[in-house]
Amino acid sequence: MIKTMVAALVCLSAVTGFAAEVSLEKDLIPIFMKSCGECHNPESTNRGAIKNKAYFNTKEDILGKVGKHIKAGNPEESGLLKVLDGTAKFGKRDMPMPPPKSELPAFSKEERAKVAAWIKDGAKDN
């Protein structure tokens, strides 16, 4: 079921065929900062979010500490996509990101597809 959903997502990105390559800096960081940055940044007081220094402020942050949740070329196996889909496990819990309680905007289908396309394309430093 999850695999089917992710596969559908990947297909969607293939069908939508983003005209230009997805840029981590120009396309993705602004979306991450809007939905995730409030907790995932070095000044955050949200200790849970920052305990592993999982920040989204810069390319280095994302390719660095967040990088362990990214499998370049393989969006289906990337934890980063799973947190967006709400299927990542934190301990025994599923915790979608952003956590619903935060009332921050979840990624739209198109935003998710951009992340998937960037990962599929090798999670480049671009």
Instruction: Please identify, among the stretches 10-18, 22-30, 92-100, 116-124, the one whose residues bind ligand HEC according to the rule CB under 6 A.
Output: 92-100
48 binds ligand HEC (CB under 6 A): yes
Please select the residue that binds ligand HEC; options are 30, 90, 100, 122, rule is CB under 6 A.
Answer: 90
Q: Specify the stretch interacting with ligand HEC by CB under 6 A; choose among 2-10, 18-26, 45-53, 117-125.
A: 45-53
Name the phi and psi angles at 94, rounded to 5.
Answer: -85, 135
* Residue 126 neighbours by CB under 8 Å, 6+ apart: 21, 23, 24, 25
Among 10, 83, 117, 119, binds ligand HEC (CB under 6 A): 83
Question: In the Cβ-directed half-sphere of 117, how many Cα atoms lie within 13 Å?
Answer: 22
